[in-house]
Structure formats: C-alpha cells, structure tokens
Amino acid sequence: MTQMTDAKSGITTEEMKFVAKEEGMDVETLKNLIAKGYVVIPKNVNRNTKPVGIGDNLRTKVNVNLGTSPDFIDIACELKKVEISNKYGADAIMDLSTGGNLPEIRKEIIKNTNLPIGTVPIYEVGVDAKEKYGRVIDMDEDLIFNVIERQAKEGVDFMTLHCGITKQTVSALNNDPRKMGVVSRGGAFLTAYIMYHDKENPLYKEFDYLLELLKEHDVTLSLGDGMRPGCLQDNTDRAQIQELITLGELVDKCREKGVQVMVEGPGHVPYNNIEANMKIQKTLCKNAPFYVLGPIVTDLAPGYDHITAAIGGTLAAVSGANFLCYVTPAEHVRLMKEDDVKEGLIASKIAAQAADVAKGHPVAWKLEKEMADARIKHDWERQFEIALDSNKPRKMREEIPSKDEKACSVCGDYCALLMVEELGKR
C-alpha cells in the first residue's frame, strides 16, 4: 500500500492527519488531493520519516541538496550540513554524493535526520559502473535496478529518476542544438548511454518494473528533468518540452499503479518565461506536484546564485511550483560548504514564504501578522523567534545597540514608531 492507494480506498493514514494539521486544512480535502495525485507525502515504509506534504493548496516546501564529490569526501562535513538543514527549517534533504562509500554516507545522513531523504540513484550506478567496467556508459539494466532496489530498502523516501530521457528526446536535442547541451549530471549519464549504445533508456523501457519496486516501499518518484536548460539562452526549447511531454505520460502510469509522483523542472529561465513554464508543466502533467531548481533568472551572478534563484523561485511558486530546490552561493563554482547551505536554505525559504503570502495561505499569513504584532510592541525577542533566521538579526542588534532598548540604532531617538506612539499617549 502507498499513501496514494490508501487515499483512493478512503483510508486516512496517520501521515495524512499529521500533514493536514500542519497545513491547517481538513484531512478529507487532503486525502482527496492525494488520491488525485495533486499532493504527495514522501515517506518510505521502511523509515520513520516526518510526514511532509508537497503539492496543491499546501505551503511551498524547500529541499536542501548536499553530498560528497570525488574531490572532497568528508562525512563529518556532510553531517554538519544535515544539522544546519534540521535547524533552519528544510522540508527535505537530497543526498547527491558521488565520492567515497556512498551507501555508508547515505546511512549516516538518514540516521541524523527525520526529514524526507531523496537521492539520484543513477549517480551511484555511474560510480559503480566506472569502478566495475571503467566507464559510466557501460552501466547495464541489472546494475541500475539493483541500486534502486537497495536504496528503497534502505529507506530513501523519494528518488529522482530521469525516465523521460528517451531516444526521441535525444533526437530532439540533436535536431535543435543548444548552447550548453545537457547540464543535468544524471541526464548526461543516460543521454551518453543512449547515444553510445543506440539503446533505449532502461528507466523508460522498463518503467512498469520500476513502478513495482517503488510501490513496494512507497518511494515517491520524482521524474527528473534531464533536459533542463543550463543557461538562459536554452530555456523552453524542444528538448526540454519533448521530455516534459513524456513525463506527463509517465505521470498517468504512476497514478494508475498508485505510485506517488512529482515532476522536476528548470533550471535557468528568464523571469518573463517562468510563469509560462509552470503553466505548461501543470497542464502536461495534470497538476502533479512540481519541483523546481531555482529557477535562476540571470547567469551573471556566480557567488550570488542563492539570490537569483530566490527571485525566480518566488514567481515559480506563485505560478504553480510546489517544491523549491534551494540554490547556494557556491552554485556553478564549487562544492557547497556549511555556510553556503545555510545561506541557500534561508534564501529559498524567503522565496517560499513570499509566494505563500501572495497565494493567501493562512499559515503564511498567520506568521506575518505575528511579526507585525511583535514589531508594534517592540518585542525584539519575539521578532527573532518568528524570523526565518533568529541568530543573524539578534547578533546584528547586539553589534550596534541603541540607547533606547525599544528602538534600533538606525533611528535611535528618531524612531518613527516611538514618536507617534508617544504623541498618542498625550
């Protein structure tokens, strides 16, 4: 059984009750959305995961990417990133490790958080294939599905799998050349496999078998966007749309089998094209939850891409995206460090909150009203408690204190609030 099959059967699970309470909504309404495939709760049956709802009518959720690389392998560092994710309110974590003992790293990450854990199994497949055969492109079907099954048994809650990269998608890429080609790592593995062997993508060819594996453990399938644009010039091209058309067809198959599914999206997109991208996805994929990276709205800000992504993420979430994958300042430059994780997470949570306010979500507005109440009362401690990051503003206030404990050092004796407040008391 999965959350979706239970919902279709009219069964209210404990996870549904938890999510409904967190979202301030009726559980029957939530159950109906899950049954239709408009909401997912990524929770592997083998793991005690905190239930998190992703989809329509819910608050926008934020994911943190972390993981080792062949150039930097330090489990302690990754666990610190997990700690930061727990502390600053991430809704999910993806382990994208490609260096070191991948099963052991994943085990430690899972042990140190109760947040939903996602992976991209084709990364481990590629690493194993290189060790076994000498080349990533020599991976075979058995290796692919063995890794997926092993990760499902370990408790992974959602998996990014690039099932929409097909021979037809690769043909669209070749017939409409891009500036930057394929920038998705998993997408590149499978594109290279198809081009070299002239074979169909095993994840597409054996999709029914894949769904059997995922359904057994209630792993949510996150259909990867292997053809996402890597620069603004490549946005919304034939390869991206061809893959999205295929993903829409696969969403239907998932729902028929009772497998929870969401769809991933771009990427690098000019601000004026973001809304259209969200509408296209929601139409082609019949309101499946949409999981977007950014989108990044300018390519000119390496070192500041947490900001470019937050700008794009706000509009994306207002226009239909349900799940934001954070982007750190280190994007396009190097492996993210611990401080990068915090900066990226806070930026993405700002985008999510801004979007939820714009959409009128009651939980988002409740927090905004509480902050206004704290400010008018000059309750600084309460302001810090409500803030997305409590530590930074508290430290900043201590660095340059005001003579008046109610005011801040920007205005001091000339505080607008206090001036009008004093006049009102006369």
Q: Which residues are annotated as a binding site?
A: 65, 94, 123, 162, 184-186, 225-228, 264, 268, 291, 332, 408, 411, 415
Other beta carbons less than 10 A from residue 17's beta carbon: 14
Q: Which residues are annotated as a binding site for Zn(2+)?
A: 268, 332
d(CA 105, CA 88): 22
Other beta carbons less than 10 A from residue 387's beta carbon: 16
- 324 touches 351 (CB < 8 A): yes
Q: Which residues are annotated as a binding site for [4Fe-4S] cluster?
A: 408, 411, 415
> Distance of CA 305 to CAs 61, 302, 326, 400, Å?
19, 6, 10, 29
> Distance of CA 283 to CAs 82, 172, 245, 317, 333, Å?
35, 21, 10, 15, 35
Q: Which residues are annotated as a binding site for substrate?
A: 65, 94, 123, 162, 184-186, 225-228, 264, 291
The neighbouring-strand residues paired with 159 are: 119, 221
Question: For 375, what's the count of Cα atoms within 13 Å in the CB-facing half-sphere?
Answer: 12
How far from the centroid of its chain's Cα atoms is residue 43's Cα? 15
354-367 burial, b at 16+ Cβ within 10 Å, e below that, comes to bbbeeeebeebeeb
d(CA 100, CA 75): 9
SS3 of residue 160 by DSSP: strand
The neighbouring-strand residues paired with 61 are: 323
- 30 touches 14 (CB < 8 A): no
- 76 touches 332 (CB < 8 A): no
> Distance of CA 279 to CAs 244, 265, 317, Å?
12, 12, 11
First to last CA, the chain: 68
- 224 touches 162 (CB < 8 A): yes
d(CA 63, CA 93): 6
d(CA 52, CA 256): 23
Q: What letter does residue 70 receive in the DSSP assignment?
A: T
d(CA 13, CA 87): 27
